[in-house]
Amino acid sequence: MAFGVGGEGVRKMDKWIDNPWFMKGVALVLAMLLFASVPNDNKPLVVNVPSSTVSETLQDVQVKSYYDTENLVVSGVPETVDVTIKGPKNIVQQTKGLRDFEIYTDLTKLEMGEHRVTIMARNISDRLKVTIKPKYADVSIQEKISKEFKVDAEFNRDMVDEGYSADAPAVTPGKVKITGAKDIIEKVSYVKATVNLNEPIKETIEKNAVIQAFDRNMNKLDVTVEPRVVKVTIPVKSSSKKVPIEIQQSGDPAPGISIQSMELDKKEATIIAPPDVLKSVEKVRVEVDISKITDDTELTLPVIISNGVVSVTPETAVLKINVTKAGDAPEEEEDNQGVSQAANDQEKTFSNVPIGVEGKADDYNVSFINPESGRLNLSVWGPGDAVASVGPGDFGLRINVSGLREGEHSVAIKVSGPNNINWKVSDTTANIKVSKKEV
């Protein structure tokens, strides 16, 4: 039967729906379809429902211990444990997020000594299964004591810059209070404040250092230190001293040239060196090649230092050199040497007149090579009455050895005497040897 689309078709459909027998027929058809869908092998209907139980492991959960903290010290309780919780997913996730439970050990009723205790959990849902790893702890309960100890500061002395030295460091405060188990405190042998230096130092510094306590085998001890940090002052100073400047000459005088004197404008220098080097250095030097000296001259020479010396002040020195040339007019005090003898002059000769030595350092010896005896013959002439009244004591023969290094040297002989007397010595130079005295 076909229904129209007009109002009459709609009215006919409404009459069918309002008919109770029509609705009963529809219900019967639906019931038959449902019955037909039931399996006929008598097996139960299985519905797959996802599981709602989950497990989570919470790592590094802090352990709290309850005991008499004023009078006792406990060791052996782990700082953290791993806790596994299992149960309904929503409760597990909530517990994991909030972590509002507590893992603890209750030692309040235990006496001093060794014990095995259970690590427990509380304030956690009873719908969760809780597993703690480790489950037990072997603890030691001991009497708490405090004792004062002196602090020793230490640092790497290799970090002190070259040419500087460090005195013993000072610690503020010099003593600290250490608290711990009685048997641990009795093992304390060293209390150290170690200063860490990142770069070489060449001036006094102040740094904070953490205190650590050690037994005699330098094992670190588990104790409480008050204060935990101290101030360490490391005094640093320049390692220096003053030493003489020595003249070291090389070569021999040029032909016809005698070195009359050599003198430095500075006699001493300040050197900086590590303490062990400083002890062994007694002098610095300037070096001059006298074979190149032909006239009176002044030379600016570097002050030479030995190995290990960091610096020297001054770095240069001026050396003044006076020479005598063969055939030159004598110096003021030798004006009478080499003057021609007049016809009416009287002459006298003195034998073995000693040659004096000037400018010799106390720790050096000077010996004569030529003349070997250190004496010369001296001839004098002049007016008869003047010559008759003089003796060898009226004349002075001398050499100047100031600034001469160890070794052999040729030096000028200077002569002085009365103004109205002329003289001549058998040699104008002396060959000598300079050596250091044996201690």
339 CB contacts (<8 Å, ≥6 apart)?
Answer: 422
Average pLDDT of the chain is: 84
Whole-angstrom CA distances from 271 to 18, 245, 279, 313 are 127, 11, 11, 6
Mean pLDDT of 348-361: 87
305 burial level (CB within 10 Å; 0-12, 13-18, 19+): buried
Whether residue 48 is predicted with pLDDT greater than 50 in this model: the reply is no
27 CB contacts (<8 Å, ≥6 apart)?
Answer: none
CB of 425 closer than 8 Å to CB of 378: yes
Distance CA 128, CA 134 (A): 18
As a whole number of Å, the CA-based R_g of the chain is: 55
Whether residue 144 is predicted with pLDDT greater than 80 in this model: the reply is yes
Whole-angstrom CA distances from 127 to 28, 53, 91, 104 are 48, 11, 8, 20
Distance CA 5, CA 260 (A): 151
pLDDT, tens digit (0-9, with 9 covering 90-100), for 210-226? 999 999 999 999 999 99
Instruction: Map residue 231 onto helix, strand or coil.
Output: strand
Whether residue 330 is predicted with pLDDT greater than 60 in this model: the reply is no
Distance CA 87, CA 185 (A): 47
Model confidence at 22, pLDDT cuts 50, 70, 90, reads low
Whether residue 128 is predicted with pLDDT greater than 70 in this model: the reply is yes
Residue 266 structure tokens: 């500075």
CB of 177 closer than 8 Å to CB of 148: yes
pLDDT, tens digit (0-9, with 9 covering 90-100), for 68-93? 999 999 999 999 999 999 999 999 99
Q: Which residues pair with 382 in a beta bridge?
A: 346
pLDDT for 273 equals: 87
* Helix pair 20-36, 7-18: axis angle to 10 deg: 70
Handedness of CA 201, 206, 210, 216 (dihedral sign): positive
What is the C-alpha end-to-end distance of the chain, expressed in Å? 149
301 burial level (CB within 10 Å; 0-12, 13-18, 19+): middle
CB of 277 closer than 8 Å to CB of 309: yes
CB of 405 closer than 8 Å to CB of 246: yes
pLDDT for 324 equals: 79
Question: Which position has the higher pLDDT, 407 or 325?
Answer: 407
Whether residue 37 is predicted with pLDDT greater than 80 in this model: the reply is no
Distance CA 65, CA 118 (A): 11
Distance CA 58, CA 49 (A): 28
Q: How many helices (H) and strands (E) does the chain have?
A: 6, 32
Q: Given phi > 0 = left and psi -120 to 50 = alpha, else beta, which region is 60?
A: left
Place of tokens 């209907």: 45
**CA 303 to chain centroid:** 30
pLDDT for 158 equals: 87
pLDDT, tens digit (0-9, with 9 covering 90-100), for 231-280? 999 999 888 888 998 888 888 778 877 777 788 888 899 998 888 888 88
Whole-angstrom CA distances from 411 to 344, 356, 388 are 35, 12, 31
pLDDT, tens digit (0-9, with 9 covering 90-100), for 96-107? 999 999 999 999
